[in-house]
């Protein structure tokens, strides 16, 4: 897998968006992170049509982002929980939320309390040197022949 679409640039961002880029997918994940794990509650909170939610949940389970956990036998009832891979999408939501807070909201509707005691203001740092990453400090290096900044070779 992981062949990026058509004639477009091979890219992990595109691959990731193929999994979580469809409408509601990230909002479903948000609910799971908030502790909401059941179909009806997710549907209500996200505002998604039920058939679409069915499709999204199936896709996320197939992609290994969520897993169904039996919480009641007879009738079989499952809740949706984040896998390890799903948990690793948390930073994406955190940064998206931060951006919305800073640029769209007057008052942040939700705040995350960090264990250090203060409200979380997430920052990206470089694991190697530990410094905060600013945009000037970073340059792309393309690993696939034909795809540089200019785009496809011919």
Partner DNA sequence: TCCCTGGGTTGGAAAATCCAATGCACGGCT
Partner DNA sequence: AGCCGTGCATTGGATTTTCCAACCCAGGGA
Exactly one of 20, 24, 60, 89 binds DNA (CB under 7 A); that residue is 24
Q: Is 50 in the site for DNA (CB under 7 A)?
A: yes
> Both tokens of residue 122?
């997430």
Between 48 and 89, whose beta carbon lies closer to DNA? 48
DSSP, residue by residue, 62-74: HTTSEEEEEEETT
DSSP, residue by residue, 67-107: EEEEEETTTTEEEEEE-HHHHTTHHHHHHHHHHHHHHT-SS
User: CA 42, 55, 76: angle at the middle one, nearest 5?
Assistant: 65
Between 30 and 56, whose beta carbon lies closer to its own copies? 30
Half-sphere exposure of 126 (CA within 13 A, CB side): 9
Half-sphere exposure of 149 (CA within 13 A, CB side): 3
Exactly one of 51, 75, 76, 107 binds its own copies (CB under 8 A); that residue is 107
Between 68 and 83, whose beta carbon lies closer to its own copies? 83
Contact of 45 with 30, CB cutoff 8 Å:
no
Residue 79 binds which entry of DNA, its own copies, none, with Cβ cut-offs from 5 to 8 Å by kind?
A: DNA
Q: Is 74 in the site for its own copies (CB under 8 A)?
A: no
Between 13 and 69, whose beta carbon lies closer to its own copies? 13
Q: Is 49 in the site for DNA (CB under 7 A)?
A: yes
Tokens 């696939």, located at residue: 144
How many residues interact with its own copies (rule CB under 8 A)? 94
Residue 61 binds which entry of DNA, its own copies, none, with Cβ cut-offs from 5 to 8 Å by kind?
A: none
Binding site for DNA (CB under 7 A): 22-24, 38-41, 48-52, 54-55, 57, 74-75, 77-79
């Amino acid at each position: 897998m992981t062949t990026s679409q058509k004639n477009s640039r091979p890219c992990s961002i595109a691959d990731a968006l193929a999994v979580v880029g469809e409408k509601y997918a990230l909002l479903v994940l948000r609910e799971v992170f908030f502790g909401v794990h059941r179909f009806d509650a997710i549907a209500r909170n996200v505002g998604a049509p039920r058939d679409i939610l069915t499709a999204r949940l199936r896709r996320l389970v197939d992609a290994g982002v969520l897993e169904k956990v039996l919480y009641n036998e007879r009738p079989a009832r499952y809740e949706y929980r984040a896998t390890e891979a799903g948990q690793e999408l948390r930073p994406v939501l955190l940064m998206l939320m931060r951006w919305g807070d800073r640029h769209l909201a007057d008052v942040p509707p939700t705040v995350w309390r960090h264990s250090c005691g203060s409200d979380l203001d997430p920052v990206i740092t470089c694991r190697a040197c530990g410094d905060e990453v600013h945009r000037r400090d970073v340059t792309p290096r393309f690993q696939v022949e034909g795809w540089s900044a200019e785009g496809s070779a011919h």
